[in-house]
Amino acid sequence: MPWSSQNGNNGGRSGGDGPWGPRGKGGGQQPDIEELFKKSQDRLKRAMPGGGKGGSAGGPLFYLFLAGLAAIVGFFAFTVKVNPDQVGIVTQFGKYHRTLPEGLHLRFPNPVEQVYLIKPQFAQKINIGGGREFSGRGFNDSPIDRNASMMLTGDNNIVDVQFTIQWNIKDAKKYLFNVEHPAKTVREVGESAMREVVGQKTLNAVLNETFAANQDQVQTSMQKTLDEYDSGINILVVLIGKPDVPNEVIKAVNDVEAAKQDKSRLEQEAKAYINKVVPEARGAAARITEDAEAYKSRVVAEAEGEAARFKSIYQEYSKAPEVTRERLYIEMMERVFTGTDKVILDNDGKGGGVVPYLPLNELNKKPAQR
């Protein structure tokens, strides 16, 4: 326990049980002086001859005992001891007055002054998402809100992120007076910082083993917020457990993962089809392009040849039009009648105008063997 009240009245903050109290159980509450005086007086009367009856109870020994008892009570009422691991915060009529270091110090008794003994280096722990939580001023056995670790990722998925916060006190005065519920404040600031980090990640990124590296970012964000609150609290470390998907959404997540695997498979098949079809299409396109280029070259060459031949014929024609015209006619007739059966008609012939035609080429052919 990091702090306790020397006088029992702790200003509304629970003292708690345990070895952290300055004087044992109850946080070091000062015993009632009147009650202690009465009990001591009764014991002294019973111990004296005659059970304290008669005038012997008022003898020198009795008053000496009362003086010693008053000295002891005054010592405890006007002094306070601060242990090596503690600092003492003194309030005078409820207002901060001074800070006491280690050692024995004088003070006015309650209600003039009240001393709070705080252990700055006492490390405290808060578990977010499960387990029994140490509240910082005694164990908190109230049910833990397990939904506190349910967080929303950047891609609108729910993930369970359990983590532990360890903290202590770096400024006892600020810790005592500026924050009413330090443990609750640390818890809420930790949840807020973790939700901010998780909200920037996708579900796969949070479930990845490298997500634990974000605990430094969470610690820095928490410390910045607590310093803005002027809380006097120091965050020692933030330990992130293995994030997991809640049971309620495991089926949905499995469906999503199956869909992602199907998507990946279809993408691979599409890429394989593209790698097969695209080269074939490119090859066909290159072949068609080459054929077109060859056809173009051939047609252009033929056209250029025809044009050159026409120009040469035209030049000859311009020199002797009649002769060239007749030669062209004869060449054309030669091409037309080549390879066809011909019958020559002569109107001047005596044989009825039909001139027998002897195909000399046919005579040179050998008769077919039977």
For position 54, what pLDDT does the model report?
45
Measure the CA–CA gap between 138 and 267, rounded to whole angstroms. Answer: 58
Q: Is residue 250 part of a domain?
A: no
For residues 130 and 177, membership in a common domain is answered with yes
pTM value > 0.85: no
Residue 169: φ, ψ to 5°: -110, 130
130/241 same-domain check: yes
* pLDDT tens across the length of the chain (370 residues): 565 555 443 333 433 333 333 333 333 344 455 665 667 667 666 655 554 444 444 567 777 777 777 777 767 778 888 888 888 888 888 888 888 888 888 788 878 888 888 888 899 999 988 644 444 443 343 445 667 888 989 888 888 899 999 999 999 889 988 988 999 999 999 999 999 999 999 888 888 878 888 999 999 999 999 999 999 999 999 999 888 888 777 787 788 888 989 999 999 999 999 999 999 999 999 999 999 999 999 999 999 998 988 888 888 778 888 888 888 888 888 888 887 776 666 666 555 556 566 666 666 666 656 5
Domain endpoint, select from 215, 245, 275 = 245
Residue 142, pLDDT score? 42
Number of structural domains, the chain?
3
Residue 245 DSSP label? -
Domain stop point among 118, 138, 160: 118
CA 167/CA 182 separation, integer angstroms: 10
Residue 347 lies in a domain: no
CB 112, CB 80: distance < 8 Å = no
- Residue 367 in any domain: the answer is no
Name the residue range of residue 313's domain: 255-336
**CATH number of the structural domain spanning residue 163:** 3.30.479.30
Q: According to the model, what pLDDT value does residue 357 have?
A: 61
Pick from 167, 168, 247, 162: nearest CA to 212: 162
- Whether 311 and 260 map to the same domain: the answer is yes
Tell me the DSSP string of 28-61: SPPPPHHHHHHHHHHHHHHHSGGGG-SGGGGSHH
Q: Are 169 and 217 members of one domain?
A: yes
Q: Are residues 231 and 130 in the same domain?
A: yes
Which two three-digit tokens encode residue 69? 């008892």
